[in-house]
Amino acid sequence: MLLGLACPKGMLALMELRHLRYFVAVAEEQNVTRAAARLHVSQPPLSRQIRDLEEELGVALFERSAKSVRLTDAGRVFLEEARAVLQRAGEAVQTVKAVSSGEKGEIHVGYAPSLTVQILPKTLRTFQENAPGIRVHLHDFSTEEMLASLRANKLHVALMIAPSEKLLRGLRFVELHRYALCVAAHPAHPCARGRKVSLADIANERFIAYSRADYPEYHEMLAALFKKLGRVPHIAEEHDSSTSLIAAIEAGRGVALVPESLGCLTGERLKLRSLSPAPAPLLVGLLFRDSGTSAATQKFIASAQAANRK
């Protein structure tokens, strides 16, 4: 490894870590012969390396006698600096190895709150047990934001609904859970009285939906469901978060089609009713790049799979 240092003459001096290790050994042993034995090198090359170092720095680091060497004032200062550089280099090597093996580092995880309210806590708990040295950064993103961030290497993995085949280019999806699609309504709404609701029952309702720009797959799903009835849903409002969508439904402004997991966020504030006949469930899982996944990402994926098998 080369080190760039400003020498006294103002020129750029390049030296290797080997020179620093040799210098420290000689300084600590105060004897070139003992230092050579400690380093497992012969004495003449060691002496030559030390003289090359002094010449490159433009200062004398040692006062030499027939049997020993002693540090000059400049040498004592350089010894402290050399030790610090070697220690920092050693720490850097250990850090890189720890990151490469998935023992240390950080990982950026995108998630959709309404879909992962049950999945994410279990996953984080298991991951903390398996990889305590890795810091997790969570990002509450829309589907479009997660897809863009994965492709831009800003996210390592995303917890989200399964994307369509056309959006999977270069990405891989692993299913973790399936959620039924339900109708969410205010407790006083007529459709909240029964245990199940048909699409025909709510075909004329005002629909509260996630924003088309952020959740295009949600609108595709709505269109596909109502196409079977020969109808187009009346989307009265669009919201960019589960929080605002829940507030709008609670205010009695309309109903929404949501995953059953949303009930963990609403409690008794809303009533969720199953659809009959039941449409295909929503597949929720992990989305990540198909190649180049880090050791930390692989550990997160394994933790998510293990946690959600329980």
Spatial distance between the Cα atoms of 61 and 278, rounded to a whole number of angstroms: 83
pLDDT of 257 reads 96
Q: 194 and 248 share a domain?
A: yes
- Give the mean pLDDT of the chain: 89
Give phi and psi for 292, each to the nearest 5.
75, 20
- Tell me which residue range forms the domain holding 43: 2-101
Q: 48 and 185 share a domain?
A: no
Average pLDDT over residues 229-253: 94
Give phi and psi for 172, each to the nearest 5.
-130, 140
pLDDT of 174 reads 96
Q: 235 and 298 share a domain?
A: no
Beta strands in 7-87 (DSSP E): 12-16, 62-64, 69-71
Q: 45 and 88 share a domain?
A: yes
pLDDT digits (tens, 9 = 90+) for 90-127: 877 777 776 666 666 899 999 999 899 999 999 999 99
* CATH code, domain carrying 96: 1.10.10.10
Tell me: pLDDT of 206 over 90.
Answer: yes
pLDDT digits (tens, 9 = 90+) for 123-144: 999 999 999 989 999 999 999 9
Residue at a domain's end among 83, 101, 119:
101
Of 154, 158, 116, the C-alpha closest to 286 is 158
Q: 276 and 294 share a domain?
A: no
pLDDT of 101 reads 63
Tell me: pLDDT of 14 over 70.
Answer: no
pLDDT of 9 reads 39
Give phi and psi for 285, each to the nearest 5.
-170, -155
Average pLDDT over residues 279-305: 93
Average pLDDT over residues 2-17: 49
Q: What is the dihedral angle through the alpha carbons of 123, 126, 130, 132, rounded to the nearest 10 degrees?
A: 80
Q: 64 and 29 share a domain?
A: yes
pLDDT of 139 reads 97
What total number of domains does the chain contain? 3
Q: 143 and 168 share a domain?
A: yes
Q: How confident is the model at residue 12 (pLDDT cuts 50, 70, 90)?
A: very low
pLDDT digits (tens, 9 = 90+) for 244-279: 999 999 999 999 999 999 999 998 999 999 999 999
Q: 40 and 74 share a domain?
A: yes
* Helix H or strand E segment including 107: strand 105-111
Q: 300 and 165 share a domain?
A: yes
Q: 88 and 226 share a domain?
A: no
Strand partners, 238: 209
Q: 165 and 228 share a domain?
A: no
* CATH code, domain carrying 298: 3.40.190.10
pLDDT of 1 reads 46
Task: Find tokens 């399936």 and name the residue.
Answer: 178
pLDDT of 105 reads 83
pLDDT of 8 reads 41
Q: 288 and 174 share a domain?
A: yes
Q: How confident is the model at residue 293 (pLDDT cuts 50, 70, 90)?
A: confident
Tell me: pLDDT of 192 over 60.
Answer: yes
